[in-house]
Chain A
């Protein structure tokens, strides 16, 4: 018998059709994937199934109960983890978990087994406030909170965005355990390896179901969306290029905690340098020091020839930066954002004008020139943010998880922009959790527990650790991590 029945569901917001005649069904104990680009209507679908939204048309039943009329019954039997699951920042890790356990009528002890694999990683910080955890740690705690009870149906809306590959694997192992207990799971994800772990997936695009089938068939049928051909680029960077970033024995301590613990490396001009590491390994902190947002506790370094301790304002003139959080002004239009940041870097009015035209043409954004940035889909925003960050032709651009939560096709277009920039001689310093992107880099470093545990070209690393691909290299190194934060 089907646990979830969706029949001709439609949902519109103003003029936008978020869901357009969507029908599918999920069997008991199935792991069902809901995939598609950003803005395809996945979140609306989840909300309708959880009775948080009323559909405009069509019917849906969950466990035999109607989503429109039997709200109370459904809410008793489902578990839901929204995309931006947010914890109570001012409660400690344990208090958060305890609260959610009680909320769902269970206790930490009762539910401990089902969350052990992930919770044990953060258990040592159980007295720390959730707000003081790093981004990935928060996500792990959120996962623990969502899984502490055993609902008969579990809805997970992009649960692993921003989580490192190792923890993602552990999370899906946990889901497999739940499935064995007969729990039905509906999940959405931008990661292909996770899509492959679903039994069936529905591909949603612009509010319509494009196909429902096994992951292999869907990924194959829509391979230009999910599996774009790899990018060919010749490694033009010789080993004789000059160093634009040089760091030696860099340390950043917060009290007794050494977030960055004695790291040294250098990056050459025009290189694409991948800066990898598990959540909380210290990547963001290191990046903040290099971009002049933070002072190092110890160690020395230069960026674009300027000292990171004393000449941070000089450094800022020569770099571009795009952060994890989306960093353009949502209440300004595309053109206004470009003009603002170009102006900040001292470009002249006419120069801005001509360059803006060129950029918009290149991005095929001309007709959206006067749209508010807040109204654009995430993938477009990210592309735009990147273009803005290199608009003033900096020597180096720093990208902090620029493609988090973006679908494969858009990520691919994003990397084309990165290659373009590298070709023009801009050094790219990038962090990411996507291991396919790691392969795109000229050189990568992998940070574990605040130290750099490996550095080299992707091929070198694969050979050195005898692993087939970067994913395995990363898992191999990150499994050795002692601390979770």
Chain B
């Protein structure tokens, strides 16, 4: 009988004016706009140069700054105060001051990453200009960037976006669907029929899993077509991880929808937890930089295991062995969640 229920869900999705659009627009949004937005690359830093010494070196530095991809030369200022004014009105980000043969770099560090990376870049430029004369230490350090040779932020973000996508499609949508049946009262009609709770739950989830995996496939294709970014490891593992994550968020959504009476409530609660899980997962910032209490939460955060594992497979080209530990953890968390979800749905109270 589950066949009929699944059919019904698909019909309803098709009839809904909103759902087909979401399914169509979502992957395009996620793959064609988001990678450009979720870009923490530091570039276009505007530099003010203040040269009290009036030497030629400042000219050379301005040339190097203009030549660099990271900087935009904003102008020469006659005093440091004047340059600071630029920073205060946000027309400049960094000041390079030259006085008595000494160089001072003052960066606006309200955004710490931008400030520190910017000043590091500028230091390198300045150092390259001045060290040949004062070279006493041979700084022979070369750096090898593994996996992401072009230092492209998109390579880092695309696997994360796939996780977010599965979460939205398989977590939010079925949860809202169930709450809306509750609000309309049709769920009562289903509850007096012999439909078992497994069939009911599975019939609600399977369509969204199918849609989720379909959209994931479209995303993988888009990422290859648009950016030339492809999965380095076995593709099967990407799907396995996606399915596990989808299962977790579906169960999670189910628990919330079984305990909420209105869509607004369900949406707010869901959103709250999802944002926390996502921010603390290492999708955006390294987990090892977190304070201890926050780091401890990553042990039970499925998104953390997912983020780690999918990047290992997708970017670093790791195989099953590389992510065995994460797979195990993710499976256990998902299993516990599913059991709780099925237990939370009651046909008879």
Contact = CB atoms under 8 A, between A and B. Distances in A.
User: Direct contact between A and B in the complex (CB less than 8 angstroms)?
Assistant: yes
A291 B348 CA distance: 10
Contacts of A342: 4
Interface in A277-313: 291-295, 312-313
B59 interface: no
Contacts of B7: 339-340, 343
A329 B10 CA distance: 13
A343 B190 CA distance: 12
B66 interface: no
Contacts of B196: 313
B192 A336 contact: no
B349 A293 contact: yes
Given A312-B348, A328-B186, A340-B4, 5 more contacts: A293-B188, A293-B347, A329-B12, A344-B4, A344-B190
Given A323-B188, A340-B5, A345 B193 contact: yes
A316 B192 contact: yes
Contacts of B186: 327-329
A325 interface: yes
B192 A319 contact: yes
Contacts of A91: none
Contacts of A327: 185-186, 188-189
A116 to B, nearest CB: 34
29 contacts: A292-B348, A293-B188, A294-B349, A295-B349, A312-B348, A313-B194, A313-B196, A313-B348, A316-B193, A316-B194, A317-B194, A319-B192, A321-B193, A323-B188, A327-B186, A327-B188, A329-B186, A332-B8, A332-B15, A336-B11, A339-B4, A343-B1, A343-B4, A344-B193, A345-B1, A345-B193, A345-B194, A346-B1, A398-B192
B197 to A, nearest CB: 10
A292 B193 CA distance: 9
Nearest to B14: A331
**A interface residue count range (under 10 / 10 to 19 / 20 to 34 / 35 or more):** 20 to 34
Interface string B184-221: 11101111111110000000000000000000000000
B16 interface: yes
A331 B192 contact: no
Interface in B55-107: none
Interface of A: 291-295, 312-313, 316-317, 319, 321, 323, 325-332, 336, 339-346, 372, 398
A323 B189 contact: yes
Nearest to B261: A131
B288 interface: no
A16 B348 CA distance: 43
A344 B192 contact: no
**B interface residue count range (under 10 / 10 to 19 / 20 to 34 / 35 or more):** 20 to 34
B124 to A, nearest CB: 62
Contacts of B149: none
Contacts of A372: 15
Contacts of B347: 292-293, 312-313
B21 interface: no
B54 interface: no
A345 B184 CA distance: 22
Contacts of B1: 343-346
A344 B194 contact: yes
A293 to B, nearest CB: 6
A414 B185 CA distance: 22
Contacts of A331: 11-12, 15-16
A339 B7 CA distance: 10
Interface string B160-198: 000000000000000000000000111011111111100
B136 to A, nearest CB: 76
A327 B184 CA distance: 9
A84 B11 CA distance: 29
| The 7 nearest A-B residue pairs measured at CB | A343-B4, A327-B189, A325-B185, A321-B192, A317-B194, A316-B194, A331-B15
Nearest to A343: B4
A107 B193 CA distance: 48
A341 B188 CA distance: 13
Contact of B192 (A291, A295, A328): A291
B103 to A, nearest CB: 65
Contact of A336 (B3, B8, B190): B8
A372 B349 CA distance: 32
